[in-house]
Structure 1
Amino acid sequence: MQKRNAIKYDLLADRYHLQTIDQLVDPLVKIETCIDFAHLAAEIDHVVPRPVSKKGGRPPFPTETMVRILVLKRIYNLSDEQMEYQLLDRMSFKRFCGLLHAINIPDRTTVWTFENRIGEAGAKAIFDGVTSQLLKKGFIARGGQIIDATLVPAPKQSFTKDEKEQLKQEAIPAHWKPTKRRQKDLDATWTKKHGKSHYGYKLSVNMDKKYKFIRKIVTDTASTHDSQHFERVIDKANTNRNIYADRGYPSAEREAWLKANGYRSQIQRKGHRNKPLSKTQQGRNHRIAKIRARVEHAFAAMEQMGRKLIRTIGQVRANFAMTMMAACYNLKRLAYFQRTGILAF
């Protein structure tokens, strides 16, 4: 007897597949339920108005659709080419972006053009928009603030000895064609950390102790010392006056500044040659370390979104990528609270 084919066919198969995805808990559905993407799109259109073409032509995709695509691109660390492919291939992506029944899907050029059009101002509008929605849901900054920085790797550049000499003199090598110049990152820098060399950029953050949301950010090159961003990432809205940081931040001037501005310094002490830390200071450092380590959870979450690696060339695009990195971390963090039923109080 011939066996029946185990595969069943149905014209409504896609609908059944989506129902199964929902039963398996689609993480994108959780994100969609906790963030008002229409409001984020309105913020971007206000900061970076949509261009009006006098020549007519095909109308652009809605800003909300493109914002959702940028969020997917950052969360899953996709290139523009992979973003185009996944939008064509994955039902959950198409549903999240409102393209489930659309014939035309934004291609790689459309994604690249939109990202470059809104630039840093657009990325900041997304970060600030997510932050404002956190506050509306009651997640105000509480418990004190933790300040730290993380290195963000960029594609390493190789230069000849002659090219390095010309670049030191702020001159572009004459033999570089425009196409080659666009592929050379002249902004990223080298730095050393724990005896290892790193190339790329730096993201300094301020995270609230209670909810572990990133409240303030500053972007820079890798060689910039962490402490130079300290005052710029202070969050005046935090309800607690404690400020936690590691041994890279202490100085007499900073301690005086914190005291003058009504903050309580919880910065770890640093020992010096012939003047080691006392047992009391070591105990204090240990207590602070337990709290300060909470910021590492945020950096680990960013690592899971794509190893914190950026594929862009230049400071401007790196700033965009790092700002989106912080915004998407907050977005995923809010979705976690939504999924677990934890409410702000």
Structure 2
Amino acid sequence: MSKKSAIKTSLFAAEEREQKLDRKGDLLSTLEKHVKFSDLAAEIDRIAPRPNRKQGGRPPYPTELMVRVLVLQHLYNLSDEALEYQLLDRLSFQRFCGLRHSSSIPDANTLWVFRERISAAGGADALFDAVQRQLQQHGFIARGGQIVDATLVEAPRQHFRKAEKEKLVQGETPPEWTDAQRRQKDTEASWTKKHGKSHHGYKLSISADRKYKLIRKRHVSTAKEHDTNHFEDVLDPANTSRDVWADKGYEDRAREQRLQQNGWRLHIQHKAKRGKPPSECQKRRNTRIAKPRARVEHVFGAMLAMGGKRIRSIGLARAEFGLSIKAAVYNLRRLCSLKESGVAPI
């Protein structure tokens, strides 16, 4: 190499690179600043204590480290194998997880075992609720009413023969399937059509508060279930306002009357009926509702950037776990955005 090479060596090169990352606004450094990962880990340890290794074997990694790894996976939409590689290769990931000087890192199997253990214990609900408490500690309580909406989440497509489909419709498992096939066949994901296009997978319903665009409630169902079935499941009674916005897919006169009697102020767009176009008054009302309702699309757009419109897992239980964690990680990222942009809680 030429003596005039611009490459410089330094005993402090790693520290200098970290300082440059901080100056450029490293998201992981921002998460470190605003999120108490020790509190999230404590909640996981409460519902799913770490395995006892008194009988021998390698001790499990600290829960806080594994929670951080889980956040990385959903923040960057990485498979278990890809995440293992990035932990080995990527400086910012190592720094975030406290692994810069570690001779070992959690591998793909370790992450799978951790995820399965806490999923069976209700870890998704615990982690989501723990994040909600941190939002409230920062002063970002649910304000300004809420917007309810749902989005389709694609799952790995399944191919069944006619005889297999007939058995599944009857609620039975084809007897010729091996144990390995049973594990790999997703019999719970379903098909639906939207705007003339077929989709296979699940559906994530949420309510986001209008003020901060934070997800307050969520529900996961199969794709074929209609959005309106889970409208009340995601209503957040803790919001400071009783206003609720939703698109015309949620129109249900009987339910609206019942909820209005209980104090809710519903702003649901009117759906035109066949052969009866909406009146000018209804069009104006739909337009008024459209602007506040559109704020929930910003939430789904951010989740899409995090890979939130597709899952790799099989089965409703794993879909519920993965999408709940995705919603919690979205909230952590949104919290950092609010704090760094100087938005002050009211």
Return 58-67 or 265-274, whichever deviates more.
265-274
Give the 5 Å matches for 1:199-214: 199-214=200-215
- How far did residue 168 of structure 1 move? 2.0
CA contact (8 A) 1:189 1:200 kept: yes
- How far did residue 307 of structure 1 move? 5.0
Looking at structure 2, the residues matched to 5 and 61 of structure 1 have their Cα atoms a distance apart, in angstroms, of 43
Looking at structure 1, the residues matched to 82 and 57 of structure 2 have their Cα atoms a distance apart, in angstroms, of 26
Give the letter aligned to residue 103 of structure 2. Answer: I
Aligned to 1:39: 39
- State yes or no: 1:231 paired with 2:214: no
Aligned to 2:324: 323
TM-score, normalisation: structure 1: 0.97
Give the 5 Å matches for 1:1-345: 3-119=3-119, 121-306=122-307, 308-345=309-346
Question: Secondary structure of the residue that 1:248 maps to in structure 2?
Answer: helix
- How far did residue 142 of structure 1 move? 0.9
Q: Where in structure 2 are there 5+ consecutive unaligned residues?
A: none
Looking at structure 1, the residues matched to 266 and 308 of structure 2 have their Cα atoms a distance apart, in angstroms, of 32
Alpha-carbon deviations, 1:302-330, whole Å to 9, x = none?
Answer: 10001521000111111111101111111
Give the letter aligned to residue 178 of structure 2. Answer: K
Give the letter aligned to residue 98 of structure 2. Answer: G
TM-score, normalisation: structure 2: 0.96
CA contact (8 A) 1:205 1:217 kept: yes
Looking at structure 1, the residues matched to 275 and 13 of structure 2 have their Cα atoms a distance apart, in angstroms, of 73
- How far did residue 170 of structure 1 move? 2.5
CA contact (8 A) 1:30 1:338 kept: no
Alpha-carbon deviations, 1:40-62, whole Å to 9, x = none?
Answer: 00011112222224422221101
- How far did residue 16 of structure 1 move? 1.6
Q: What RMSD, in angstroms, separates the aligned Cα atoms of the two structures?
A: 1.3
- How far did residue 275 of structure 1 move? 3.0
Alpha-carbon deviations, 1:50-102, whole Å to 9, x = none?
Answer: 22244222211010000000000001000000110000101100111111111
Q: Where in structure 1 are there 5+ consecutive unaligned residues?
A: none
Q: Work out the percentage of aligned pairs sharing the same amino acid.
A: 55
- How far did residue 150 of structure 1 move? 0.5
Could you list the runs of 4 or more consecutive aligned residues of structure 1 that deviate by over 4 angstroms after TM superposition?
Answer: none
Looking at structure 2, the residues matched to 13 and 302 of structure 1 have their Cα atoms a distance apart, in angstroms, of 35
Question: Secondary structure of the residue that 1:162 maps to in structure 2?
Answer: helix
Alpha-carbon deviations, 1:204-250, whole Å to 9, x = none?
Answer: 00110111001001111101100011111111111111111110111
Question: Secondary structure of the residue that 1:327 maps to in structure 2?
Answer: helix
Looking at structure 1, the residues matched to 162 and 72 of structure 2 have their Cα atoms a distance apart, in angstroms, of 40
CA contact (8 A) 2:148 2:244 kept: yes
CA contact (8 A) 2:144 2:241 kept: yes
- How far did residue 169 of structure 1 move? 2.5
| 1:89/1:23 CA distance change after superposition, 3 Å | same
Question: Secondary structure of the residue that 1:102 maps to in structure 2?
Answer: coil
CA contact (8 A) 2:80 2:108 kept: yes
Alpha-carbon deviations, 1:231-287, whole Å to 9, x = none?
Answer: 111111111111111101111211112211101111111121233321111100011
Give the letter aligned to residue 42 of structure 1. Answer: A
Give the letter aligned to residue 169 of structure 1. Answer: Q
Question: Secondary structure of the residue that 1:29 maps to in structure 2?
Answer: helix
- How far did residue 159 of structure 1 move? 1.1
Looking at structure 2, the residues matched to 46 and 211 of structure 1 have their Cα atoms a distance apart, in angstroms, of 29
Looking at structure 2, the residues matched to 340 and 293 of structure 1 have their Cα atoms a distance apart, in angstroms, of 21
Looking at structure 2, the residues matched to 288 and 157 of structure 1 have their Cα atoms a distance apart, in angstroms, of 39
Question: Secondary structure of the residue that 2:292 maps to in structure 1?
Answer: helix
CA contact (8 A) 2:40 2:64 kept: yes
Alpha-carbon deviations, 1:173-217, whole Å to 9, x = none?
Answer: 233221122111111000111111100001100110111001001
Looking at structure 1, the residues matched to 307 and 271 of structure 2 have their Cα atoms a distance apart, in angstroms, of 33
Alpha-carbon deviations, 1:13-32, whole Å to 9, x = none?
Answer: 21221111112111111111
Figure out how many residues of one structure are paired with residues of the other and give that number. Answer: 344
